[in-house]
């Protein structure tokens, strides 16, 4: 299977562990699922007679092995059929999206962690562990925020384009806060005592007492008497400080329908006065309201000398000018390294009970499998793409490991994970070499993860050779994302076109993948297998491997032959013969 990328429907990873008894235990009944046999039914036969999957893991011969599953957070925390089915069968869950950068980091740089905290509590009550996915990746990043940190600075000076006069009549707050308003989340505003402004005088203060769900839940605004010109460029310049480090977003709004019609970006601040200069282009009509979105920052922000001026290259009478100042490569490296540390630290502050993480996800390039991925020269960059390695260099994984060790629990296990390692064996060799490089810089990587989004036509000899290459590293080895399609290419086999023979072959390949893992990976390196998509994929836009019957259960939560194949692989025998 070639160059498979992950998208939003991804269901995520659980590490694999269970023990095989001499006689399989009785069938687990899930009350919420009417399709499963009930206590009053005749004895289960065939595939219904199989036990929960984790019962077939031999924990004596594979003491670290966990059987895991991927899941969407709402499906698990709702505690319905999916929650019950996955809890009965798996030791560990992996969230598809909710631990990724764009789900945690908001537009203003604040971290939203309540979903993760809630999930951890639900999992703990269920006796299930959580696998962290992921600290550093190039996709599904809050790229707009990261790019704003390293964007060129707008410098007001004596060269460049001229600026029209300031549109804010009360910009230095020496005569109060006339024209300014605030609302939401119990926020308040006022004017400082004399001497509280930048360089003396007065400043405007705004206090948001608590973190709100969204940045727009607490706002500070100034309405212009006339709309700003559509397609014109405007420069914002201000002095700012706050009670603690943070950031808020600022832009223009049409107050008639509350739509954004121009985004300046983020105002970053510290506890010391700093000058901020930002630019926007007005994109819509009735751009009257100049507005700061402060809901996700809890504290007090101080503003002074706030100016908004139109860029007018033809205005020869203007005395102020603006030009761009690019940040150096060293400056970008420093900024992005600091942001990586802030993000990893923030995640680990609330996830100390999560002991295993993908510290770096998908680092290797498909076309040049011994080299790191890069965004440089790519014809297509998705809106959420951000290549940390383009700013931090080859040591970006070294830094990620250092930060995870610094802020994580003492027994944290860190994996570097990639896909297509069974398809492109040089990519498998490439990631092994990269891990060697990372460790040569003085840090330790616990394990390697292999994503196996494979199909019936996947080369089995390659699977075996991949296992051998990974086993030879001496590292913990984890299959982080396993699912098997019935055919590759642009027209994959769907549920409508699948035959009994397809499902038989799928079951056989699931069994082969599990058996060979247990055969080739040494006992002290077996860290688990995670079923990435336990259920067949729906025919909905954006679904992972859309409309492909890739799971162990179908879309109605009925066990498929694949379930039996997977169980047989774990048990090391045909479990049906025990019935």
Identify any residues that bridge with 450 across adjacent strands, giving them in sequence order: 418, 479
At residue 214, the pLDDT reads: 85
Sheet holding 321-325, edge to edge: 153-157, 321-325, 161-162
Per-residue pLDDT tens over the stretch 252-307: 999 999 999 999 989 988 899 988 989 999 999 999 999 999 998 999 999 999 99
* Digit-coded pLDDT (tens) for 394-429: 999 999 999 999 999 999 999 999 999 999 999 999
Work out the widest C-alpha separation in the chain, in whole angstroms. Answer: 93
Report whether CATH 1.10.3210.10 matches the domain 152-325. Answer: no
Sign of the dihedral defined by the CA atoms of residues 372, 373, 378, 383, in that order: negative
Strands (E), 383-475: 413-419, 447-455
Partners of 105 in beta bridges: 111
Neighbours of 245 (CB within 10 A): 13
Q: What is the CATH number of domain 53-145+331-578?
A: 3.20.20.80
CB atoms inside a 10 Å sphere around CB 344:
23
pLDDT tens sequence across 17-47: 333 333 333 233 333 343 444 444 555 668 9
Q: Show me where the domains of the chain are located.
A: 53-145+331-578, 152-325
Which pLDDT score is estimated for 50?
A: 94
- pLDDT of 468 higher than 60: yes
Distance CA 416, CA 512 (A): 24
pTM score above 0.85: no
């Amino acid at each position: 299977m070639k160059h498979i990328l992950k998208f939003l429907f991804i269901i995520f990873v659980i590490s694999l562990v269970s023990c095989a008894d001499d006689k399989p235990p009785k069938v687990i009944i899930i009350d919420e699922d009417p399709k499963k046999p009930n206590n009053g039914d005749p004895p289960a036969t065939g595939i219904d007679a199989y036990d929960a999957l984790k019962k077939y893991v031999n924990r004596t011969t594979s003491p670290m092995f966990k059987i895991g599953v991927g899941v969407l957070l709402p499906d698990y925390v709702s505690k319905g059929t999916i929650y019950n089915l996955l809890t009965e069968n798996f030791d560990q869950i992996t969230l598809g999206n909710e631990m990724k950068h764009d789900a945690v980091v908001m537009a203003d740089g604040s971290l939203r962690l309540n979903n993760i905290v809630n999930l951890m509590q639900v999992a703990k009550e269920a006796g299930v562990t959580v696998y962290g996915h992921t600290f550093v990746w190039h996709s599904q990043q809050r790229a707009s925020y990261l790019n704003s940190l390293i964007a060129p600075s707008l410098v007001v000076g004596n060269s460049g384009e001229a600026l029209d006069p300031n549109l804010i009549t009360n910009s230095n707050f020496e005569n109060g806060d006339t024209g300014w308003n605030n609302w939401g989340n119990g926020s308040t505003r006022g004017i400082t005592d004399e001497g509280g402004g930048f360089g003396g005088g007065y400043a405007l203060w705004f206090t948001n007492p608590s973190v709100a769900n969204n940045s727009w839940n607490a706002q500070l605004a100034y309405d212009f008497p006339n709309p700003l010109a559509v397609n014109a460029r405007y420069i914002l310049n201000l002095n700012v400080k706050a009670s603690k480090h943070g950031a808020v977003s600022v832009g223009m709004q049409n107050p008639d329908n509350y739509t954004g019609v121009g985004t300046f970006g983020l105002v970053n601040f510290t506890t010391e006065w700093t000058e901020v200069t930002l630019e926007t282009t007005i994109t819509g009509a009735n751009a009257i309201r100049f507005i700061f979105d402060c809901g996700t920052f809890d504290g007090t922000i101080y503003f002074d000398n706030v100016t908004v001026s139109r860029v007018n290259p033809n205005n020869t009478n203007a005395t102020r000018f603006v030009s761009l100042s690019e940040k150096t490569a060293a400056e970008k490296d420093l900024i992005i390294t600091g942001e990586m540390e802030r993000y990893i630290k923030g995640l680990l502050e609330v996830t100390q009970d999560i002991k295993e993480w993908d510290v770096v996800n998908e680092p290797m390039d498909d076309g040049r499998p011994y080299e790191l991925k890069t965004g440089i020269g790519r014809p297509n960059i998705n809106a959420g793409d951000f290549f940390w390695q383009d700013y931090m260099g080859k040591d970006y994984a070294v830094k990620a490991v250092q930060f995870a060790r610094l802020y994580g629990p003492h027994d944290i296990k860190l994996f570097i994970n990639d896909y297509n390692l069974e398809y492109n064996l040089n990519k498998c060799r490439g990631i092994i070499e990269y891990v060697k490089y990372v460790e040569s810089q003085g840090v330790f990587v616990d394990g390697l993860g292999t994503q196996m989004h494979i199909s019936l036509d996947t080369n089995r000899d390659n699977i075996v050779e991949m296992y051998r290459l990974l086993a030879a590293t001496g590292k913990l080895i984890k299959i982080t994302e396993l699912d098997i399609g019935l055919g590759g290419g642009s027209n994959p086999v769907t549920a409508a076109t699948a035959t009994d023979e397809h499902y038989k072959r799928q079951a056989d390949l699931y069994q082969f993948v599990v058996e060979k893992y247990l055969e080739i990976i040494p006992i002290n390196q077996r860290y688990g297998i995670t079923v990435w998509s336990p259920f067949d994929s729906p025919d909905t836009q954006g679904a992972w491997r859309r409309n492909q019957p890739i799971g162990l259960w179908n879309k109605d939560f009925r066990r498929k032959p694949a379930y039996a194949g997977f169980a047989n692989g774990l048990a090391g025998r045909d479990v049906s013969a025990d019935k």
